[in-house]
Each structure stands twice: as C-alpha cells, then as structure tokens.
Structure 1
Amino acid sequence: MALCLGQVFSKDKTFRPRKRFEPGTQRFELYKKAQASLKSGLDLRKVVQLPEGENINDWIAVHVVDFFNRINLIYGTVSEFCTERSCPIMSGGQRYEYRWQDGDLYKKPTKLPALKYMNLLMDWIEALINDEDTFPTRVGVPFPKNFQQVCKKILTRLFRVFVHVYIHHFDSICNMGAEAHINTCYKHYYYFISEFSFIDHSELEPLKAMTERICN
C-alpha cells in the first residue's frame, strides 16, 4: 500500500525547522495557490508557470522556500545513514565531488563529509531566506537587484542534495517506500528550474539519465 507523505517523512526527522509563510500575506496566498495546483493533479510543467498578473520574484520566493522545506525533509529522512564513515566526501558517485565555500569560514572550496556539507548548506540557506534584505516579507519592500542570482545559487546547491540522496541513499529511500514521493518532488523542482533557466546544464549532468527517464 502506498504511504502518504506524512507517514513517509515524519516531522521528527526534519533536518531543519520549516520556514513558513505568514497567513494573510501575498506570499502565503501564492503558496496556497501553488499547493492547490500540486494537489489537483495538473501537469507539473504547468503548475510551475507564473500565474497571470503575479510578481515573478514573489513566485520564485515561494518556490525556493518550499523546495528548501521539502528537500530538507528528504535529507532529514536519510541523514541517519549519511555518516562520516559512509559518506566521507560530499559527492555524487565517483565522478562528482562538491566542495564547500562560503567566503566566511571556508574561503576556499573545501572537501567535507556529506553530513557536514549538508549542515553548512542548510544553515546558509536558512540565513538567506530569513534575511529581510534578501527575502523581504513586508508589503512594499522591493526585492534586491541580485535576488534571482541568489535564488539560482540556492537552487543549484539544493540540486546537489538530490544528487547525493539519489546516488548514495536511494536504497534507503526505497526501503521506506518513499521513492514515488521523492520522484514527484524532484520532477516539480526540475520543471521549475527549467521554466526559469535557474541551473546550468553542466550542474544537471549527475542525474541526466534519471531525469530523462522520469521527467520527459
């Protein structure tokens, strides 16, 4: 029997606290609209398209925060299997290795265990989406000029979580009965980044074969 998302991903396994949208705000209404479209069974390619009359940066912000929440939950589910011994390098198989650089504690690209990389990544994204200068929530406050570039970097790094989970922890995902849910989340994410050209094709190479199989 297929499990519902709440059964597969328990809240106590969330890797980070969920970022929520404030009720009554425009972004909360956009979030509800996006969620309703997802639940309606519409083609995911159409679900990600900007609704007529809506602000593109608001639409992007809603999706970036939602993907952060969902991918955070996915990784939280497998994080107990992602140890320094099992995953001493943040990678996607033998061909792809990801090094951390934040310009602060890690000024140069640094090789790290996957779990450490994920901790730093989620801290970094959480700080950005809670920063009013980067993700403004007050009515009338404009988005910064570099907002879409910041979102591109966030989404590019979140893609690496999919890479690591699919390549190194997919057996655990299948054992939990969560494969279909993660595939749906990935498809939603992939159609969104494709709709707005957010990730360079070279970054997508590690999951190219799988993407062609489930997203076309």
Structure 2
Amino acid sequence: MNEDNHPTRGMIHMISGGSTDGDSGRARKAHGRRLENFEISRDADLPQDPVINFGPEDLRGVVAPHNDALVVTATIANYDVARIFTDNGSSVNVLFKSTLDQMKMRGFEFEPVSTPLYGFAGHAIPPLGQIVLLLSLGTDPRRVRKMIAFTVVDIPSAYNGIIGRPSLKDFRAVASTYHQKLKFPVGKGVGVLCGDQKAARRCYEGLVREEGKRARVEVHMIKRGRSE
C-alpha cells in the first residue's frame, strides 16, 4: 500500500498480556528461556542506525515543567488517529474497538487471542482478537511505514490506541516524555513525531473522571450487597 497515492480519509480523535510473547504458557516459558542461551552480538551484526539523541532544541514548543504522557497522532490504515498513548511499559499494541468502528473497516477477521490483557484498572480484559494494519510514523520525507499487529479490546478509553514495546522495537524508536518526542531512524536520518500536551492532559482528565465513576459504582454495589 502506497500512502502517497491515498490521501487520509479522516481524523479520529499500561498493559501486559496478549499474545506478544506467545499465546500459551509453553510459548511464554520458551520466550523467557531464550535469554539463557543468548550470544553477544558482534559489531558486524549491529544495525548501522544513525545516532538518536535529545537536546535543549527539542524542548522548543514544550510547555514546561510538565508531567504529561507522550500522546501522539499517527496514521493507521490511512486514517490520522489522534490520542495514541506511547507506552514502553505495554507488552502489546492496542487499538480500541471504538476507534476501529470509526475507521469503518469492513471485510476483515480478527486473529484469535486467548491470553487476556492486564493493566486496565486492574481487571483482566479478554481481547476481541488481533488485527494487522499499516502504521505510519513521521512526515515525508522522513516517514516510516510498517505492518503492525494490534490487539483489539472493547472497553471505554480516553485514548484511541496504544503504541507499545512491539512497535517501538519494530521502528527502533526512542521516546522521551520530557522532550515530548518520539524519534526513529529513517535511512541515514532521524524522523520525529511530536507529542500533543493538550491531548495528553485531556486524556488524563478523562481517565481520572472515568476511574472516579467506576470506583463510586463499585462502592455502591458493595454497600447494596451488604444491606441485602
């Protein structure tokens, strides 16, 4: 798919589990044992990527001091999708069903995933499945595109998606929440994706509000259960 010939069709405004390391206990144990027999890479085996660093110039346009998450806009399957949380603590890339619904995609089937996700308010969430879509980071001429597996979940969220460790590894990307930037190699150069602090703060406020509602509902249910 060549995005240059396909203009975007619209704007669509902390996690472990899933099938990243295998969708069975045996596969996950095998993944853990791989480090026991690893070999140190020789210099000749290392990728010849450009140096990625961050400096004072990267703080231009950043409102400081701040404690904002790195929330970016990226292109997924020809849609510019805002409010994507960059989370190197997430073992999977996540796309929420509400986002997928807005993309009006038809004729696809989810690849089944049996391993639940953990980290959404402490609850285990069964995924609807996994879907592979084209993810594009950056802007031309420093844009990179890769086919990425997203785990789809059907729960409310202030975010539209989560870029987790698998994507960061595939793009060889380095994130800095302090500088509000995601950088990645593009040939001999470096591509940059800037964070959106306003979106990050709106998402945070939304998450806190939803968690407060959920906590009040749970307390009410406990009290009602005791009275019965």
- Same fold at TM > 0.5: no
From the two aligned structures, give the one with the greater strand fraction. Answer: 2
Q: Which has the larger radius of gyration?
A: 2
Q: TM-score, normalised by structure 2?
A: 0.27
Q: TM-score, normalised by structure 1?
A: 0.28
